[in-house]
A and B are shown apart, each in its own frame.
Chain A
Amino acid sequence: MSDGERKGRFTIPHEELMYPGHSACPGCGEPIAMRMLLKALGPRTVINIPAGCCAVIPGVWPRYSLRVPMIDHAFECTGATSSGIRAALDVKGLDDVTVVGWAGDGGTVDIGLQSLSGAVDRGTDFLYVMYDNEAYMNTGVQCSGATPCGAWTTTTPAGKEMACRRGKKRILEMMVENGIVYGATANIAYPEDLIERVRTAKSIRGPKFLHILSPCPSGWRMDPSKTIEAASLATRTGMFPLYEYRDGQYRFTKEIKNLKPVEHYLRLQGRFKHLTPAQVAEIQDLIVGELEVLKAKVEAGRK
């Protein structure tokens, strides 16, 4: 669809479940992701959050920027607290309320992995959302298990050795193997798609996992105006493919075709500026390889 066809039309719900005046840095992706999530879920939602940017953004007591209840907890227990909230809501007969565990990448793939795995194993009926800004941003840009290969962070100062890590943990696939009933990647640059993924997740009972790419201009060392552009390029270069898992099958939610060279994505961000042309080529190969693995999974599901 072109912009022209949509002229003067809202392509996402108009109602806001969030207030302005929150504490996110200019150009932060997290409030965009949260805004879309709430538009998709509506007011019968409870959010629980660990440490991270997400604990700062909603504002300082006594102020609060969301129109749904939120429960704070320690860093590593988003999955566990979600299980407790769900159990108590069920006891109280509030089974129409959606429980959302909302955590950053470090809080998910590193310190929170155990309790997330436990919640999935327990079959907790909830939606776990990892907003992924690809490092510990709230503490000032330290490398996490979701930091992409080659990215500068304060704990991976750009040196000659790029391959000190294996790149992003494949968290969605880990959760699939762990037993989620629905999983998807989503991107704030594609809000209509993001909302559809959230609505699909809401319609299914059991543990669901959503991986949302949420650029951090400060940590990615780029101008805050480039947040959506970078997010969009992540998907268009194949760096962050959009796909979902349901009923035992993987499916692309945005077809992978006419991939742009990854250089377009990398050169937008200061965190990659130290990369040599050879290293950029290495990352390009890495992307192609990962996509082949993913395509094979999608194909396997079609048979």
Chain B
Amino acid sequence: MIDAITANHAAALAAKLARVEVAAVYPITPQTTISEKLAEMVSRGELNARFLLMESEHSAMSALIGASYVGARTFTATSSHGLALMHEVLMWASGVRRPIVMPVAARTIGGPWNIWGEHMDVIAERDVGWMQFFCENNQEVLDTVLMAYRVAEDPSVMLPAMVVVDGFILTHTVDAVDIPDQRLVDEYLPRFDPPVKLDMERPARLGGLIMPDWWMEFRYRIAADMEGAKERIKQADKEFSRIFGRGYGGLVEEYGTEDADAVLVVAGSAAGTAKEVADRLREEGARVGVARIRVFRPFPSEEISRLGSRKMVGVFDRSYTFGDGGAMFNEVRSALHGTDSIVKNYIGGLGGRDVTAAHMEWIFRDMLEVAERGLDRKVEWVGLKDGSGRW
């Protein structure tokens, strides 16, 4: 059934279709409407889940770790300060291998206050052992929540996943979404039956205290399983496409990259703008393409390194890691190490600033110029009022 809904509505519907058993919620803009939709579904009896009203995001995540240990499929959603408050328990969740799935309505973090969209909150949590899926549109949000459960709960993965939904741009914007049949979702997503869970007949301590003699072995397993998740994500995408008739190209969606001189790497909703502008420029004969990072954790280093045969790779970061350029830029550049590609960082769309077609066109034209003349500077802030922001 096709309906016109927001991405937050789509995320809540996905939780329902996934037959989530325990949901724990705490409000924060622009995530709140996910929690509200879930509350409606539970109160109408459409979703048979325990619905826990928490007193903070930290507690929401903590409740889910407990529930997941008992063997329940769990769900929450958050944003910005809420995600930052969870920081400690995000690491608990991955460290004790609980496959919690959580949409994050990506938003900047204060101070000063700003409730609008960017990726800073998500990027700041890139190293906590969670998979990170970025979505371009509302349909992909619904589909990715389902895929995320499938991958996260795979016994060879058993790691939590965030589904990144651009704050306001997607969370509060209505778009056509094909809502899949429950029967098909049930076929795609098996019941949650984790290899390690509470067993009243064989009492054990779950979590526990691990000394230096074993700690590295436990950490290595997480690292190895995160690496292995790459294959699982590709399989989950293929299987999704078989059952539902749409797929997303695995870890990185490539758009017009085959013959491109300049490829722009971008994640989230700005990819839509980038693709449209690329189409227009290609009609003019400019050889430009877009590589959309769908999965930032695990990092698609192989896919990105294959872009190394292009003259120029630009990286659009919708966040900034103060110190040395954007996080995506640095990781992409690292994956391209040893290739001849020139790599340049473009920063834009922070704190709700629009990323317009004009910005994207400027970026593509700058990339083509760099491809011709060589790198002028490493980092470029796009769309600053006084036109500064280059070094």
Contacts and interface: CB of A to CB of B under 8 A. Distances in A.
Classify A-B as touching or not with yes or no (CB < 8 A).
yes
B109 to A, nearest CB: 20
Contact of B22 (A69, A84, A115, A118): A84
Nearest to B199: A69
Interface stretch (B51-59, B121-129, B329-337): B51-59
Interface in B37-81: 49-50, 52-56, 58-60, 62-72, 74
Interface stretch (A87-95, A145-153, A204-212): A87-95
Contacts of A72: 96, 205-209
B204 interface: yes
Interface in A36-76: 43-44, 46, 48, 55-56, 58-61, 64, 66-74, 76
A44 B200 contact: yes
A185 interface: no
A94 to B, nearest CB: 7
Centre residue among B89, B209, B214 by max chain A CB count within 10 A: B209
A248 to B, nearest CB: 25
A79 to B, nearest CB: 7
Nearest to B60: A80
A89 B67 CA distance: 8
A115 B56 contact: yes
B155 to A, nearest CB: 19
Nearest to A47: B205
A70 B62 contact: no
A81 interface: yes
A220 B215 CA distance: 33
B102 to A, nearest CB: 14
Nearest to B213: A60
A69 B66 contact: no
Contacts of B199: 69
A71 B198 CA distance: 9
A94 B69 CA distance: 14
A97 interface: yes
* Interface range for B: 35 or more
Contacts of B62: 73-74, 77, 80-81, 84, 115
B202 to A, nearest CB: 9
B50 A81 contact: no
A64 B205 contact: yes
A276 to B, nearest CB: 42
* Interface range for A: 35 or more
B92 interface: yes
A80 B204 CA distance: 21
A84 B209 contact: no
Contact of A87 (B50, B65, B211): B50
Contacts of B54: 80, 83, 118
B63 A61 contact: no
A122 interface: yes
B66 A56 contact: no
Contact of A88 (B58, B70, B89): B70
A122 B59 CA distance: 12
A85 interface: yes
Interface in B245-291: none
A71 B89 contact: no
Contacts of A56: 209
A97 B22 contact: no
Nearest to B209: A60
A82 interface: yes
Nearest to A67: B203
A283 to B, nearest CB: 35
A115 B89 CA distance: 14
A205 B32 CA distance: 31
A88 B205 contact: no
A104 B330 CA distance: 44
B72 A87 contact: yes
B66 A91 contact: no
Given A88-B21, A121-B55, A46 B198 contact: yes
B88 interface: yes
A152 B53 CA distance: 40
A92 B207 contact: no
B304 interface: no
Contacts of B207: 70-73
A64 B205 CA distance: 6
Contacts of B74: 84, 88
A87 B205 contact: no
Nearest to A75: B88
B66 A73 contact: yes
Contact of B200 (A61, A69, A83): A69
6 contacts: A74-B92, A80-B59, A84-B70, A88-B22, A115-B59, A117-B55
Top 6 A-B pairs, shortest CB-CB distance: A72-B207, A84-B63, A77-B62, A84-B66, A80-B59, A118-B55
Given A83-B24, A92-B71, 4 more contacts: A48-B66, A61-B214, A84-B70, A92-B70
